[in-house]
């Protein structure tokens, strides 16, 4: 009978952000000013573990009166955090956990995902040894990601540390033939898989059947935490209890350089009161769409709200050694501006001309901007010209049935720019079976070298086998940068590979730039910018203690370069020894969208779960698409949210979003769609977004240009009538 180790995390409540939660000086969100709650997906993971326990036929293992545990079917909740994180364990105990463990120690603070996954994996080893008595029949169940980190890297890295299979983005589990089959989200559809052997790590993407605390369990949970009671179900461990190898700041492989507010939203977010006005706006805005491109774009001011930075040039290619325009932070850049200005004024062109008297003059000019130590560091930094990292810029290709995922081409576009700046080559690594025909297209999209890892065992994506192949190629050729698409597959593969080759990884980047930090001895670093805390802040991150810098990048953000079929590239075949044991998942069923859809249409009208039924979807879509087609004399196509597809309103091929298709029409009309990030990623390049939703607080209203609060049943027929009468 399986046991379940559930990872639960206390996170800031980003759904309840008040104005005073923002720092008035920096404009960034102050985490400590937010209330703390259990990470919603971890609460779902706890409920999911409970469902698995029930479905597999084991009864609740804890005897509430005595706290005694039966042999199997235990749910053990594990949390790492400050002492106050105890609250999420109380929550767990009062729902379904039998034992709760808090891993708490100051030394564990300030950790990135590696230094979080590592101690958690060591704690799991200790649980298995001491509580499960080395019984390997267990699952580690976690939420797909936490709202504060948003990386989805920790579970995969725990799996890597423990050498376990990982099944990510799970939405359901069925107990059949004495084992569990899991349904999970994949690009373009869904898949049913089973772990060939246990233990296994499962990450839950959605399980909306919450557990409620009963009165008796709550009493029992509170009693367990009472210091006067000898509650054996509450265990506290410190760092020295688990002997992890990577903890806290020193064990981390990435560090945050800068946190800043997200770019100003350039969507209009204008509420429209009635269908008549909306019809007018639809027609007008469609006519002026071309003109709106510059102002609307992807809804962000410039890239991430920043002005486009000039392209990086290596120090030895700059007009002067004193040109340090490419320093990492704004403050550093400002310091160098003062310094180089003064050096110019003093007529100094070589480092050895900087003597004590010139240093004094420089410090006088610098005032409070920098002092002696910083000046000495900057002068030392001038001697640096050699990049800190060496090797090519790589993209890990994602493909299915011989078709390259569009996000791979986008990454190649950015990799080309980065590689040109760093004066190196672009490599694309492809793992699979019969993959060589893809090389031509990958070269045309910007690659110099294609690394082919061909093996029958790599025919379909199995995280364990693929991460072994990719990691082997990386640790043979050591590229300086490795980019993966932030798709479900990339977000699964990248953390496993990076952990395996001991390199830092930043998730879901929306900006990748090259900068120096020469005062700290770094030249040509990859700065990785990403949204954090549910998109409420942006963070720029750098890699440390690693031979290669790695990032997953959000699809639809980087730009593909126009394919050039005349480009020449080299194919390098890389052999990796794989056996059946490297394939950990049994793939039972894959459901992918098929059929034709014209997402190049000027207008896409999409329906979400709020369309209520297939009939409603058919009727209202038919009416609105036809009215727009006639009125504007353009092509109109139907789209849908993932939830609408899962409800059976329309075929999978119509799904828009992260795991559907990314689109960029002139006009996007969203009917009964809430505006989840995974959906909105897919419409980021749309010129005008219009939303109709009955919930006045629907998140989509903050991400669209025009919206009406109302039901689709009420608004759509009125809108159609107005369009027809104009
Ligand atoms: C790894 C991963 C990948 C994913 N990929 C995608 C993806 O590619 N695409 C995608 O769309 N999602 C994706 N999702 C799912 C995504 O997180 C959301 O669950 C999904 O987008 C929600 O769809 P929805 O807005 O239709 O449904 P809901 O979030 O349930 O929203 C329905 C909306 O309809 C409104 N409504 C209800 N009744 C009415 C009415 N009568 N009239 C008007 N409005 C009404 C409600 O107010 C609500 O806002 C992914 C999730 C994960 C974890």
pLDDT, tens digit, 9 for 90 and up, residues 275-296:
999 999 888 877 765 554 333 3
Nearest CA to ligand 1 atom 7: 657
Query: What integer is the mean pLDDT of 595-600?
Result: 91
Give distance in angstroms: CA of 677 to centre of ligand 1. Answer: 9
Nearest CA to ligand 1 atom 47: 695
Do residues 221 and 215 lie in contact, with contact meaning Cβ atoms separated by under 8 Å? no
Which backbone phi and psi does 522 adopt, to 5 degrees? Answer: -115, 130
Candidates 617, 640, 657: which one to mutate for ligand 1, based on the most atoms within 8 Å of Cβ?
657
Mean pLDDT (the chain, rounded): 91
The dihedral formed by the CA atoms of 695, 700, 703 and 708, expressed in degrees to the nearest 10: -50
Residue 597 CA to its chain's centroid (Å): 28
Q: Is 585 helix (H, G, I), strand (E, B) or coil?
A: strand
pLDDT, tens digit, 9 for 90 and up, residues 18-55:
777 777 766 666 777 888 999 999 999 999 999 999 99
Percent of residues, the chain, with pLDDT higher than 70? 94
Candidates 613, 659, 702: which one to mutate for ligand 1, based on the most atoms within 8 Å of Cβ?
659
Closest ligand 1 atom to 171 CA: 53
Q: Is 240 helix (H, G, I), strand (E, B) or coil?
A: helix
pLDDT, tens digit, 9 for 90 and up, residues 174-188:
999 899 999 999 988
Beta bridge partners of 4: 75, 139
Report pLDDT for 67. 46
Residue 509 CA to its chain's centroid (Å): 7
For residue 612, give every residue at least 6 positions away whose Cβ sits within 8 Å of its Cβ, in sequence order, or none: 672, 712, 713
| Secondary structure element (H or E) that encloses residue 586, with its range | strand 585-592
Report pLDDT for 321. 84
Q: Is 400 helix (H, G, I), strand (E, B) or coil?
A: strand
Candidates 169, 610, 691: which one to mutate for ligand 1, based on the most atoms within 8 Å of Cβ?
610
What sections of 445-530 are H helices per DSSP?
463-477, 488-500
Lowest-pLDDT range of 254-263, 429-438, 506-515, 621-630: 254-263
Query: What integer is the mean pLDDT of 418-443?
Result: 97
| Secondary structure element (H or E) that encloses residue 505, with its range | strand 505-509
Closest CA to 503 of 550, 551, 539: 550
Identify whether 199 is preceded by a cis peptide bond (ω within 30 of 0).
yes
Give distance in angstroms: CA of 607 to centre of ligand 1. Answer: 9
Give distance in angstroms: CA of 267 to centre of ligand 1. Answer: 20
Largest CA distance in the chain: 84
Pairing of strands 570-573, 179-186: unpaired
Query: What integer is the mean pLDDT of 346-355?
Result: 92
Closest CA to 167 of 461, 399, 579: 461
Give distance in angstroms: CA of 675 to centre of ligand 1. Answer: 7
Name which residue leads in pLDDT, 299 or 422: 422
Report pLDDT for 269. 96
Nearest CA to ligand 1 atom 49: 674
Give distance in angstroms: CA of 676 to centre of ligand 1. Answer: 6
Rounded to whole angstroms, the Cα distance separating 75 from 291 reads 58
Give distance in angstroms: CA of 678 to centre of ligand 1. Answer: 9
Query: What integer is the mean pLDDT of 623-632?
Result: 95
Give distance in angstroms: CA of 421 to centre of ligand 1. Answer: 40
CA angle 672, 673, 674 (to 5 degrees): 120
Rounded to whole angstroms, the Cα distance separating 533 from 577 reads 41
Tokens representing 237 are: 């461990």
Closest ligand 1 atom to 699 CA: 49
pLDDT at 58 over 80: no
Give distance in angstroms: CA of 30 to centre of ligand 1. Answer: 29
Closest CA to 559 of 441, 409, 682: 409
Report pLDDT for 284. 84
pLDDT at 305 over 50: no
Q: Counting Cβ atoms within 10 Å, is residue 153 exposed (0-12), middle (13-18) or buried (19+)?
A: buried
Closest ligand 1 atom to 659 CA: 8
What sections of 270-323 are H helices per DSSP?
275-287, 289-296
Report pLDDT for 301. 38
Q: What is the DSSP letter of 464?
A: H
Residues with CB under 6 Å of ligand 1 are: 144, 169, 185, 205, 488, 608-610, 612, 641-644, 655-660, 672-674, 676, 678-679, 682, 692-695, 698, 711-713
Beta bridge partners of 99: 76
Give distance in angstroms: CA of 154 to centre of ligand 1. Answer: 25
- Predicted confidence band of residue 192 (pLDDT cuts 50, 70, 90): very high
Closest ligand 1 atom to 644 CA: 26
Query: What integer is the mean pLDDT of 604-628?
Result: 97
pLDDT, tens digit, 9 for 90 and up, residues 526-581:
999 999 888 888 999 999 999 999 999 999 889 999 999 999 999 999 999 999 99
Give distance in angstroms: CA of 640 to centre of ligand 1. Answer: 9
Beta bridge partners of 41: none
Which backbone phi and psi does 258 adopt, to 5 degrees? Answer: -155, 140
Candidates 15, 658, 662: which one to mutate for ligand 1, based on the most atoms within 8 Å of Cβ?
658
Lowest-pLDDT range of 127-141, 329-343, 447-461, 659-673: 329-343
Give distance in angstroms: CA of 673 to centre of ligand 1. Answer: 5
Sequential DSSP letters for 16-52: S--GGGB-TTT--B-GGGS-EEE-HHHHHHHHHHHHH
pLDDT at 506 over 80: yes
Give distance in angstroms: CA of 263 to centre of ligand 1. Answer: 25
Q: What is the DSSP letter of 367?
A: T
Tokens representing 109 are: 């603070």
Tokens representing 383 are: 């001697």
Tokens representing 294 are: 């510059």
Nearest CA to ligand 1 atom 36: 610
Closest ligand 1 atom to 657 CA: 8
- Terminal Cα-to-Cα distance of the chain (whole angstroms): 67
Report pLDDT for 59. 54
Candidates 676, 681, 686, 719: which one to mutate for ligand 1, based on the most atoms within 8 Å of Cβ?
676
pLDDT at 159 over 70: yes
Closest ligand 1 atom to 660 CA: 8
Tokens representing 157 are: 């890295």
Rg of the chain taking only CA atoms, in angstroms: 27
Nearest CA to ligand 1 atom 40: 711
Rounded to whole angstroms, the Cα distance separating 631 from 634 reads 8
Closest ligand 1 atom to 608 CA: 26
Query: What integer is the mean pLDDT of 209-213?
Result: 92
For residue 326, give every residue at least 6 positions away whose Cβ sits within 8 Å of its Cβ, in sequence order, or none: 312, 313, 514, 515, 516
Q: Is 138 helix (H, G, I), strand (E, B) or coil?
A: strand
Give distance in angstroms: CA of 641 to centre of ligand 1. Answer: 6
Rounded to whole angstroms, the Cα distance separating 650 from 72 reads 43
Give distance in angstroms: CA of 394 to centre of ligand 1. Answer: 34
Residue 89 CA to its chain's centroid (Å): 26
pTM: 0.91
Do residues 200 and 165 lie in contact, with contact meaning Cβ atoms separated by under 8 Å? yes
Closest ligand 1 atom to 675 CA: 25
Name which residue leads in pLDDT, 19 or 252: 252
Report pLDDT for 16. 75
């Amino acid at each position: 009978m399986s046991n379940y180790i559930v990872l639960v995390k206390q996170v800031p409540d980003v759904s309840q952000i008040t104005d005073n939660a923002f720092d008035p000086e920096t404009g960034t969100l102050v985490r400590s000013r937010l209330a703390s709650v259990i990470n919603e997906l971890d609460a779902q993971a706890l409920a999911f573990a409970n469902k698995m326990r029930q479905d597999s036929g084991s009864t609740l293992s804890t005897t509430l009166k005595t706290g005694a545990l039966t042999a199997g079917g235990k749910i053990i909740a594990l949390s790492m955090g400050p002492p106050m994180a105890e609250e999420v364990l109380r929550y767990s105990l009062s729902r379904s956990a039998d034992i709760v463990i808090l891993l708490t120690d100051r030394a564990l603070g300030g950790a990135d995902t590696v230094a979080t996954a590592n101690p958690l994996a060591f704690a799991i080893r200790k649980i298995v040894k001491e509580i499960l008595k080395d019984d390997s029949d267990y699952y580690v169940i976690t939420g797909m990601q936490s709202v504060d980190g948003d990386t989805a890297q920790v579970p995969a890295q725990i799996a890597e540390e423990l050498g376990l299979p990982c099944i990510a983005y799970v939405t359901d589990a069925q107990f059949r033939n004495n084992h569990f089959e899991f349904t999970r989200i994949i690009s373009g559809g869904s898949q049913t898989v089973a772990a060939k052997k246990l233990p296994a790590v499962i990450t839950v993407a959605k399980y909306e059947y919450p557990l409620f605390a009963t009165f008796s369990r709550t009493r029992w949970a509170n009693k367990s935490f009472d210091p006067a009671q000898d509650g054996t179900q509450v265990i506290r461990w410190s760092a020295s209890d688990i002997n992890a190898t990577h903890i806290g700041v020193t064990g981390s492989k990435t560090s945050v350089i800068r946190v800043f507010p997200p770019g100003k939203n350039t969507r209009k977010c204008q509420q429209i009161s009635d269908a008549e006005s909306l019809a007018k706006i639809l027609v007008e805005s469609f006519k002026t769409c071309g003109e709106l491109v510059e102002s609307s774009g992807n809804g962000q001011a410039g890239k991430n709200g920043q002005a486009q930075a000039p392209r990086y040039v290596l120090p030895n290619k700059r007009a002067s050694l004193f040109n340090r325009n490419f320093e990492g932070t704004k403050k550093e850049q400002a310091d160098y501006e003062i310094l180089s200005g003064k050096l110019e004024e003093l007529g100094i062109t070589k480092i050895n001309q900087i003597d004590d008297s010139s240093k004094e003059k420089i410090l006088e000019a610098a005032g409070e901007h920098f002092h002696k130590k910083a000046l000495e560091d900057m002068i030392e930094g001038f001697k640096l010209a050699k990049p800190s990292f060496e090797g090519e810029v790589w993209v890990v290709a994602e493909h299915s049935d011989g078709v390259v995922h569009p996000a791979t081409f986008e990454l190649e576009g950015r990799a080309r720019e980065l590689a040109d700046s760093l004066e190196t080559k672009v490599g694309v690594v492809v793992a699979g079976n019969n993959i060589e025909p893809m090389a031509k297209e990958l070269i045309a999209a910007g690659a110099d070298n294609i690394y082919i890892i061909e093996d029958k065992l790599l025919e379909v994506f199995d995280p364990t086998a693929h991460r072994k192949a990719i990691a082997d190629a990386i640790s043979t050729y050591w590229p300086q940068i490795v980019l993966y698409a932030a798709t479900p597959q990339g977000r699964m593969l990248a953390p496993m590979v990076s952990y395996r080759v001991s390199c830092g990884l930043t998730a879901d980047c929306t900006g990748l730039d090259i900068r120096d930090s020469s005062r700290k001895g770094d030249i040509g670093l990859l700065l990785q910018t990403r949204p954090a805390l549910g998109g409420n802040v942006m963070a720029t991150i750098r890699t440390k203690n690693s031979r290669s810098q790695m990032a997953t990048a959000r699809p639809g953000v980087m730009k593909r370069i126009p394919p050039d079929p005349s480009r020449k590239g080299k194919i390098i075949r890389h052999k990796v020894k794989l056996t059946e044991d490297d394939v950990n998942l049994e793939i039972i069923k894959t459901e992918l969208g098929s059929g034709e859809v014209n997402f190049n249409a000027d207008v896409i009208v999409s329906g979400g779960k709020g369309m209520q039924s297939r009939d409603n979807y058919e009727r209202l879509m038919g009416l609105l698409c036809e009215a727009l087609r006639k009125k504007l004399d353009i092509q109109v196509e139907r789209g849908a949210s993932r939830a609408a597809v899962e409800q059976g309103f329309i075929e999978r091929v119509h799904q828009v979003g992260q795991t559907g298709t990314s689109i960029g029409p002139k006009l996007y009309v969203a009917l009964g769609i809430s505006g989840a990030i995974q959906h909105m990623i897919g419409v980021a390049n749309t010129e005008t977004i219009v939303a109709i939703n009955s919930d006045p607080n629907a998140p989509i209203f903050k991400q669209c240009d025009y919206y009406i609060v109302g039901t689709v049943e009420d608004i759509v027929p009125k809108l159609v009538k107005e369009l027809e009468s104009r």
